[in-house]
Structure 1
Amino acid sequence: MGKGNVGVLTIGQAPRTDVTPSIQRILGSETEIVEKGALDRLDVDSFHTVAPDASDITYISRVRNGGSVKMGKSKLLPLLQEERDMLEEQTEVIIMLCTGDFPTLQGTKPIIYPDVELNQAVHKVMPSGNLGLIIPLEEQRDSLIEKWNHPEIKKLVEVASPYEKSNIEGAARALKNRGADLIVLDCMGYNEEHEKRAVNASGLKVFLPRKVAAYAAKAHLNRL
């Protein structure tokens, strides 16, 4: 095991060729990325087994065929734990490739939760004000708002999926018009192109979760 190995744990299927190149650029070529996914051992015909129930929290992620799958949190957790256990044997730090909340996952190696890093980053630059959130799915609205735990920050939400053709510019512009002071693209599926489009449409500072998580992992490696 190399000292600089970083694990990437996705709620979908690995490899996440749409995300890990962004992380690799920040970590540097000397750092090896090891990827695992909660759905790695499922095929397309088995995806229905992780479909969200009416009472479950819904997540969405990319799978190997380039499509996306909706999943229920309760069904994801045991699958994620198994994959995390394997990553712990190969890496020094793990990036959770989802902006959702997964506090029940257990392990001995540090795990970087993008939602925690984003909360800290936003609070640092904006202790109070209006936070614009662009999210993938309407059914995620309540659960994604809830994790932003700053009482002095008002949350404004627009929906535009990163996994299909959607109006990122329109969502960013709408948030600006509603009074947003900055924008978070609240899903690991959003990329640098989405970030650029949101910045150009709104003129606001935009946080991209994959970048925030990668810089947090790099900082951890630098402390080893």
Structure 2
Amino acid sequence: MTTNVLGVLTIGQSPRTDVTPSIQSIVGSNVEIIESGGLDSLTAESLHSVEPEDFDTVYISRLRNGESMNIGKSKLLPLLQDELTQLEKRTDIVLMLCTGDFPTLQTTKPIVYPDRVLNHMVSAILPSGTLGLIIPLEEQREKLLLKWRLNELNLYTEVASPYEESDIAGAAFALKEQGADMIVLDCMGYNEQHKSAAVKSSGLPVILPRTLVARVISEYVSEE
């Protein structure tokens, strides 16, 4: 019998069949997952309305047809708030399926932001040293470096998208060569195979956000 309901809110379109099976396997079969997406209300013809302008923060996410698209944060936020407001009514806790920051979202239920979990975990494990980041888009480099500078760490980044053919292993090896002590795959789109490739090529600890936050949520919803 289901005893807890987890809302999964993606910035793209739901369902995220590339991510939620990983989460379900960790939180357990007693937890029901209900998905929603910031772009769910848009038609194929209107998706262009959320493409980023030059000034905007750029995110990338997956569409229902398996393709990916770049999204402008300022255009996404109102859509995301509408979806979150409805999703909360049907769930006990919500997971934001993005490692970006969303401080303006209003919630009435507990919500897990992966970027906060990642930041605190890295601070606890690696209070000093060198952190390597693998990120999806070159356009994200500057703002992601600024986000991670909250920690007293040397930072290096490499770009390798989780949504298309890219050299995750090569990016991880490059970060090792630059002196990284640990690597974060800084997007919820990265999967277990990406992590395995990064570990194998670098020999370093590699943090995968989707499984990390799923384990945090499993503690919250655990019956034992």
Common fold by TM > 0.5: yes
Does 2:147 correspond to 1:147?
A: yes
**Other-structure match for 1:23:** 23
Higher mean C-alpha displacement, 35-44 vs 51-60: 35-44
The SS at the match of 1:5 is strand
CA RMSD of aligned residues (A): 1.3
Aligned-pair distance for 1:157? 0.2
The answer on whether the counterparts of 1:172 and 1:201 sit within 8 Å (CA) in structure 2 is yes
Q: How many pairs are equivalent? A: 223
TM-score, normalization: structure 1?
0.97
**Other-structure match for 2:128:** 128
**Other-structure match for 1:64:** 64
Equivalence map 1:62-141=2 (5 Å): 62-141=62-141
In structure 1, stretches of 5+ residues that fail to align are: none
**Other-structure match for 2:52:** 52
Cα separation, 1, equivalents of 2:152 and 2:58: 27
Does 2:15 correspond to 1:7?
A: no
**Other-structure match for 2:208:** 208
TM-score, normalization: structure 2?
0.97
In structure 2, stretches of 5+ residues that fail to align are: none
Cα separation, 1, equivalents of 2:149 and 2:92: 29
Aligned-pair distance for 1:17? 0.1
The SS at the match of 2:31 is coil
Higher mean C-alpha displacement, 146-155 vs 164-173: 146-155
Equivalence map 1:24-43=2 (5 Å): 24-43=24-43
Aligned-pair distance for 1:54? 0.4
Higher mean C-alpha displacement, 78-87 vs 150-159: 150-159
Deviations 1:173-202 (A, max 9, x none): 000000000000000000000000000000
- Percent identity among equivalent residues? 59
Higher mean C-alpha displacement, 43-52 vs 95-104: 43-52
**Other-structure match for 2:161:** 161
Aligned-pair distance for 1:151? 3.9
The answer on whether the counterparts of 1:136 and 1:160 sit within 8 Å (CA) in structure 2 is yes
Aligned-pair distance for 1:223? 8.0
Cα separation, 2, equivalents of 1:18 and 1:82: 23
Cα separation, 2, equivalents of 1:183 and 1:139: 20
The answer on whether the counterparts of 1:47 and 1:69 sit within 8 Å (CA) in structure 2 is no
The answer on whether the counterparts of 1:3 and 1:92 sit within 8 Å (CA) in structure 2 is no
